[in-house]
Amino acid sequence: MVTVILHREYVKGHIAFAVPADTAIREAIKRELVKCRDKHNDYVLVTIA
């Protein structure tokens, strides 16, 4: 498990999060989102501490 801190931004009035420049982290995030898309999941679990 990897903990990643994402910077909050506003894009066209909506909250968004900047993805880190680290290629390995970007790929890990992309893999998770692709799995969710492929399973037609409407939600992604995010843990906030």
**What digits encode the pLDDT tens for the residues 1-49?**
667 888 889 999 998 888 888 898 888 888 888 888 898 888 777 766 6
Tokens coding 29: 């995030």
Residue 31 covered by a domain: yes
Separation between Cα atoms, residue 6 and residue 2, nearest integer Å: 13
What pLDDT is recorded for position 23? 92
What pLDDT is recorded for position 13? 92
- Check if the beta carbon of residue 48 is closer than 8 Å to that of residue 41: no
Q: Read off the pTM.
A: 0.61
Structural domain of residue 33, as residue ranges?
A: 20-49
Residue 4 covered by a domain: no
Residue 47 covered by a domain: yes
What pLDDT is recorded for position 49? 60
